[in-house]
Amino acid sequence: MKIFTIATDDYLPGVQALRNSLRQFFEPDLTLLTLGQCDLSKIEKIDRIPLEAFGVFECPTDNEWMLRAFQKLLLFNLPFHEKILYLDADQICMKDPTPLFKYPALSMPEMVGVERQYYKGQIMADTGLMVLEPDDDLFVELHHYFYMYTGDLHSADMNIINAFFYDRHPFEFCLLPYHFSMTKRVLTHFPELWNPGKAMFLHFLGPKPWTEEGRNEKEYHEVVKIWEQFR
């Protein structure tokens, strides 16, 4: 299965750690989808495709982070008509991810972060890990839905993708357990659920472990130490 991640220049340390962590289990067929200029001298040689080649999602915000996040929707427009695995670059692999390959497209884990999030009473999925299959017709429908959407945008692409599939295709995606992509926030907000030994991936929401701010988060010191093994 092809694996994709998306990164701007400031996320390249995450890409390197993600790939190193995957190499515990196999040599990953990993492609980096870049946004803007990326100095690839900062990372070991990697296949790279400019994400802008597949279009640009404009959105009604001046928030640079949200503008970048919405470009994740272009994953559904990639020219690969086969099942792929998408991973946010702020994750590391803790267990062999091969079992993911048997799940249908679209599959995403339950989001458990600062709180459990819901859309119209339904558990929201974490779009930082997606087993998906690009589809021309689905992308056109998603593209139209994006520009008609008037709901919450606080979580950017996660809001749109959850709303779209719950509203339009409620029986066409699989919700995986939260530990398939366990967020670091579980440690402090749901300590009864924290078990990194059970996690397939650890997801570093919030300040990143390769930044000074992330390294100085005392409550997440033990999680940062796990990430540093793969830097």
**pLDDT digits over 79-125, tens only?**
888 999 999 999 999 999 999 999 999 999 999 998 898 999 999 99
Residue 110 amino acid letter: E
Residue with tokens 């996040």: 69
Q: State the burial class of residue 125 (Cβ atoms within 10 Å of its Cβ: 0-12, 13-18, 19+).
A: buried
Q: What is the CATH number of the domain that holds 27?
A: 3.90.550.10
Query: pLDDT tens digits for 138-172?
Result: 999 998 888 888 877 777 889 889 999 999 998 88
Give me the chain's average pLDDT, please.
Answer: 90
CA 196, CA 106: separation in Å to the nearest integer? Answer: 25
Give backbone dihedrals phi and psi of 130, rounded to 5 degrees, phi first. Answer: -140, 130
CA dist 169 and 176 (Å) reads 17
How many domains are there within the chain? 1
Contacts of 147 (CB under 8 A, 6+ apart): none
Q: Is pLDDT of 49 > 90?
A: no
Give Rg (Cα) of the chain: 17
> For residue 214, what are the domain limits?
2-228
Closest CA relative to residue 187, chosen from 144, 219, 160: 219
Confidence of residue 46 (pLDDT cuts 50, 70, 90): confident
The secondary element (H helix, E strand) that includes residue 157 is helix 157-168
Beta bridge partner(s), residue 19: none
Q: Residue 80, SS3?
A: coil
> What is the value of pTM for the model shown?
0.93
Residue 63, pLDDT above cutoff 70:
no
Q: What is the pLDDT of residue 66?
A: 66
Model pLDDT for residues 183-228, shown as the tens digit of each residue: 999 999 999 999 999 999 999 999 999 999 999 999 999 999 999 9
Asked whether 129 and 91 are in contact (CB, 8 A), the reply is yes
pLDDT at 153: 75
Type of residue found at 131? V
> What percent of the chain lies above the pLDDT cut of 70?
93
